[in-house]
Structure 1
Amino acid sequence: MHRYLAASSYIDVDHPEIQQLARRLASESEGKLDCARRCFEFVRDQIRHSSDYRLNPVTCKASDVLRHRTGYCYAKSHLLAALLRANGIPAGLCYQRLAVGDSGAPYCLHGLNAVYLQDFGWYRIDARGNKPGVAAQFMPPQEALAFAIREAAERDLPEIWAEPLAVVVEALTRYPTYDQVLAKLPDIELLPRL
């Protein structure tokens, strides 16, 4: 579990502002499960999704997401992982591959988290931010993610990564404005299903 508790370049658990917020959320909590819920709800509700709100700058590092109070789903997942890890709760990064529009190509990755909960094991949560048609919740053991898989080319990727995928970091660090990222959302090629 060590790698799911570690600080890194983009999940900068040791940043003073991350540490301060993590302590505050923990102090308002009644145990680890409640702390995980509070961290999730803070990121979901207090950090605005860059595309939904048309906000710059584009953020990637957890502390930048917190400082600017905005981020794409990927960046929001970095902040949530940092807050959870700062509270001693193992957290990783997960991805879905989804259609950008209603169906069919183009496709893009969607970033979310997995948190290790003592009574439930690994549990996926999606702090993307709710809006009409999107209602992600923290309700272990039942998942309540922002998006469901609707077609064959979409996929829930089963891995739990300790660090963000390179293609995600590249998109968030290469383009300076939310609309440039929106035009070049990261994607990966998937093997066909057998």
Structure 2
Amino acid sequence: MPGGAPAIDAELLTVVAAACRDHERLRFTYGTRDGVVGEREVEPLSLVHTGWRWYLVAYDRDRADWRTFRLDRIDGLPVPGFRFPPREPPAADLAAYVSERISAAPYPHQVTLRVSASAAELAARIPPSAGAVEPLDAGTCRLRTGAGDLAAIPGYLAQWDYDFVVEEAPPGLMERLARIAGRFTRAVAES
């Protein structure tokens, strides 16, 4: 479909899914979001589809930590290797884990908000790649998100019809929000 996600080769999905099922290590060439290409050796746990992209949740043996890998960044077909004993997963809900990792990792400016909306309502407006939504109660949720440019955050928040409280913010964000709030208040008063 136009504007859709990158196409993933069925054979790639099959090889990765089989390695997850059979607990077989995978070796593959991977390109990061920064354009760095290198060999990775992982212990695959599960495939997760975000509605937009396929991700592999795997234990990266070289980095000794859990990682998420976009399948469209794997070059060629992974090579299965030795079997391994399964590790304890990094989270009970792998879809939420992937959502949190992909919504926060690419952004240098991180922000956490308490939003006056149900988690389901906000999650319907926020794609998993833009933020991780966590329910707090029936009418309140927490959003962890970020931006590449600090100036983009106020404009993003201004689009909502929800009240929110900033729980964690990068330096300079609160001052920027206060300046913009003052500008809008003056515009309303003088109009």
Interval of TM-score (by shorter of Structure 1 and Structure 2): under 0.3
TM (norm. structure 1) is 0.22
TM (norm. structure 2) is 0.22
More strand by share: 2
